[in-house]
């Protein structure tokens, strides 16, 4: 029976499906097993949290697939996996609705100052200064989408339903593809809200830094549900303090699992010091429905590879396959 390693908690129905596929070992919980304890025997890794490095792959002679729970795959060395004949897969689109809804949860939270209002109420202060809680409406505002792939294209119609104008930029598309597509400088200059929907790559690291923020409208709102490293966190912190950015809704950090009193890796972005900042702990894709869809998509990939078939959503091309 194949051995399947699960790095982090997953939907119970997904865990049951995996248990019917092979022998499951968990990397979490009271009976957690360290990867080093099973690396010689493991056939498949179900990767949610954590990282799978080139060294871990090299130490796993039977490994055939790392199935990523989610669309991003920057936490696995997919090139090293390909060189070892190991598939790496992801689950594009499976958490789309959840992420799209979270974009607007963050945007509405920031634009209506819900964090500040909630904090005041919890402190038993009933709107002592109503003017400080004055928000803005979305209708008539311009949303700029940096990245117009699967998520961005589904954010757009929701924004338009709010009465927003939508602009987008994406190097993968020509302007003739969609009238909303513009270059990055145009988007930054015209957008009241900028929302990021790009993978973390060398070309996107610190994509939004001091020069880009300076090109944005004073008081614009920044939303990031993609990856933490695509923004310069110190620059965003300074812009929130100065008012160049009116607010930010952030679901992803460059260094996660950190002290949330001071969560940004630059150590200049304490939540308590920035009332115009709303931070959530990488949960944009975390709804019950989404976790089930994403998890079952990853299970399907594992089952396919263990049957000797190519998976539906590979992100690499193994140079050799033991099952060919």
Mapped onto helix, strand or coil, the DSSP state of residue 105 is: helix
Contact 229, 240 (CB under 8 A): no
Which of 221, 223, 226, 228 lies closest to 263 in space, CA to CA? 228
Structure-block tokens of residue 10? 């997953």
Task: Give me the phi and psi of 298, to 5 degrees please.
Answer: -65, -40
Which of 115, 123, 201, 187 lies closest to 156 in space, CA to CA? 187
Give the full edge-to-edge strand order of the sheet including 3-6: 23-26, 3-6, 44-47, 65-68, 87-89
Question: Looking at the chain, which runs of residues are DSSP E strands?
Answer: 3-6, 23-26, 44-47, 65-68, 87-89, 142-146, 165-169, 193-196, 220-224, 245-250, 277-279
Give the catalytic positions in this structure. Answer: 227, 256, 282
C-alpha neighbours within 13 Å on the C-beta side of residue 66: 34
Say which residue the tokens 């939004």 belong to.
208
């Amino acid at each position: 029976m194949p051995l399947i390693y699960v790095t982090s908690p997953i939907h119970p129905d997904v865990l049951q499906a995996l248990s019917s596929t092979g022998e499951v070992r968990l990397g979490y919980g009271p009976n957690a097993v360290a990867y080093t304890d099973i690396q010689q025997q493991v056939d498949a890794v179900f990767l949610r949290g954590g990282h799978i490095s080139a060294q871990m792959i090299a130490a796993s002679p039977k490994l055939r697939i790392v199935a990523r729970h989610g669309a991003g795959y920057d936490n696995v060395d997919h090139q090293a996996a390909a060189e070892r004949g190991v598939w790496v897969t992801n689950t594009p689109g499976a958490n789309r609705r959840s992420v799209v809804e979270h974009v607007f949860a963050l945007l509405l939270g920031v634009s209506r100052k819900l964090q500040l209002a909630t904090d005041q109420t919890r402190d038993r202060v009933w709107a002592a200064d109503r003017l400080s809680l004055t928000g803005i409406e979305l209708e008539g505002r311009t949303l700029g989408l940096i990245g117009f792939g699967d998520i961005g294209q589904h954010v757009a119609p929701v924004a338009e339903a709010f009465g927003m104008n939508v602009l987008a930029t994406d190097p993968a598309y020509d302007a003739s593809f969609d009238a909303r597509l513009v270059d990055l400088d145009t988007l930054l200059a015209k957008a009241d809200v900028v929302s990021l929907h790009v993978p973390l790559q060398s070309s996107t690291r610190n994509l939004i830094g001091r020069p880009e923020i300076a090109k944005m409208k004073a008081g614009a709102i920044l939303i990031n549900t993609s990856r933490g490293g695509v923004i310069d966190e110190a620059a965003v912190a300074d812009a929130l303090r100065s008012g160049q950015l009116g607010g930010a809704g952030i679901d992803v950090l460059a260094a996660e699992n950190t002290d949330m009193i001071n969560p940004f890796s630059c150590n200049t972005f304490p939540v308590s010091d920035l009332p115009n900042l709303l931070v959530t702990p990488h949960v944009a894709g975390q709804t019950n429905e989404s976790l089930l869809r994403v998890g079952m998509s990853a299970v399907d990939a594992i089952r396919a590879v263990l049957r000797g078939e190519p998976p539906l959503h590979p992100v690499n091309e193994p140079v050799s396959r033991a099952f060919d």
